[in-house]
Amino acid sequence: MYDIEPWWGWRDEYTAENDSKTPFFRKSYDEFKFTNQIYNYFIHPQWDYLGSETLYGKILYVDYKRHFALIELIGEWNDCITNDSMFIKRDLADFLIKNYISKFVIFCDNVLNFHGDDDSYYEEWYDDVKDDRGWICLINTFDHVATEMNRYRLHQYLNFGPEFNDFNWRTQKPAYIVQELENIMNNQQKKLL
């Protein structure tokens, strides 16, 4: 796991450590010292600690004018033992919401497992963004992760599933990714009508 870096393709345009509206403002990274671990596995030092011992992340891009944030996660999303949804909501999403971010894209390509528990933080997060026509979308979740999330009825608050998988986001510009996701969600709503 130590060689899996957060996506770096947009670093010329945005870095969270230079953004005073994020919890990682002025954070410095040591490229040679590997200190963070998920279980017994060291992870790349560019990943940011979110408060959980099993789930790390990286704010890849934020557009305050268009009100969206792109975030990548790595590890095991464990609400049952480590209450990861609380850390994501309180220590990450709340910072961005108070700065008018209402659309959250969460890249889950490296989220290996999900263990659910209570859905109250997801409901709160959804309630915080829905009035601003916001949403939370999980991209490229493994099937077993999505199955477990469905078991806890998180689809009521989060957008995820087959239509959001196999999404080649690394080759796209951030605004295009958000537009494509909104197109998918709009098509889903049309089908329901």
CATH at 116: 3.30.750.24
| Confidence at 36, pLDDT banded by 50, 70, 90 | confident
pLDDT, residue 193, reads: 58
pLDDT above 80: residue 28:
yes
In a domain, 113, yes or no: yes
Nearest-angstrom CA–CA distance, 140 and 150: 15
> What is the per-residue pLDDT across 133-163, written as a single tens digit (0 to 9) for each?
999 999 999 999 999 999 999 999 999 999 9
In a domain, 12, yes or no: no
In the chain, the number of structural domains is 1
Containing structural domain, residue 129: 48-192
In a domain, 10, yes or no: no
In a domain, 117, yes or no: yes
SS (H, E, C) the chain: CCCCCCCCCCCCCCCHHHCCCCCCCCCCCCCCCCCCEECCEECCCCCEECCCCCEEEEEEEEECCCCEEEEEEEEEEECCCCCHHHHHHHHHHHHHHCCCCCEEEEEEEEEEEEECCCCHHHHHHHHHHHCCCCEEEEECCCHHHHHHHHHCCHHHCCECCHHHCCCCHHHCCHHHHHHHHHHHHHHHHHHHC
In a domain, 131, yes or no: yes
Pick from 5-9, 136-140, 185-189: least confident: 185-189
pTM: 0.95
In a domain, 112, yes or no: yes
In a domain, 22, yes or no: no
In a domain, 126, yes or no: yes
- How wide is the angle at C-alpha 14 spanned by C-alphas 1 and 28, nearest 5°? 60
% of the chain exceeding 90 in pLDDT: 84
> What is the per-residue pLDDT across 53-105, written as a single tens digit (0 to 9) for each?
999 999 999 999 999 999 999 999 999 999 999 999 999 999 999 999 999 99
